[in-house]
Structures are given as structure tokens and as C-alpha cells.
Amino acid sequence: MVDPSHEHVPPWLHKLFTGHQYPYVRRLAKFEKKDRRVGDPRSEPSREEIDAKFREVYPRCSAKILQEVKQGMIVSFRELGSYPPGGYRELVETPETFLAREYGRKKIKVNFYDGENFVCTINFKVGGWTSHDDDE
């Protein structure tokens, strides 16, 4: 596994994993210490604790690429590909370029998982995507 403390992690990816929108990494950091009290703002993990947990979790994460497919009022997702831990470097370094080359002009969702646990997701409108009518 790659240790992200020794490699460049794009700021958007770090924020996605450690921000408030997706609490997986923050919760792991919070509940690692047994003396934390739920609801007590003083027991929130520090930035250093969150970053340390990120450096632990990120190398274990796999990625799944999904295409958003809209049929009438229903939105569903079709799996386009998956990448093992450490197997998606180009995806995180240049997501738009990578996704356009590998999957074409689509609305794409990228999910990250720690084993079977969902960590976070991000959506991309790739290659000038404008509507579902453009999809192949």
C-alpha cells in the first residue's frame, strides 16, 4: 500500500475524505480515543488526529466508477469500473482527463470504500456533458 504521507494527495481529495460532508474518517478519529464523550464539542478530534486517520484509511480505499442514468423521474447508476487500493493514482491527480479518456462524455460518480464501508463520493460532469440525452 502507498503511504499518502509520502506522496502528494490533491487538496480536493483530502477535503472530501476529511471534511464534514462525509464523516467516516472524522468518526474513526473521534472514537479512537475511549475518553471522548458524544455531544461534547471539546471531544471532537483535532485536525492532527483527523489527518493521521486519513493517512491510515486512504491507502486502504478502493474506488468505484458509476454512470448516472436517468429514465424518466428515476436516477440509477451503472457500474463502469472499479480500482483496488493504490490503483487509481491518475484518477485522483487528473480526474477530468482520466474519466474523459477512460469513460467518455458522461455524468460520473466516483465512490470510495474502506473495505465494504462507504467513505465518500464525488460527482463529475465529464467532457462537456450537458444532459442525459448526450449519453451513449
The whole-number mean pLDDT for each consecutive block of 10 residues of the chain, a chain of 136 residues, reads 58 94 92 69 83 96 94 92 95 94 91 97 81 51
pLDDT recorded at residue 3: 43
pLDDT recorded at residue 1: 38
Contact 50, 20 (CB under 8 A): no
Q: What is the pTM of this model?
A: 0.83
pLDDT recorded at residue 5: 47
Domain layout of the chain by residue ranges: 4-130
Q: Tell me which amino acid residue 18 is.
A: T
Contact 72, 114 (CB under 8 A): no
CA-wise closest residue to 116 among 30, 24, 5, 22: 24
Q: Where are the beta strands (DSSP E) in 3-116?
A: 61-71, 74-83, 107-114
| CA dist., res. 125 & res. 23, Å (int) | 24
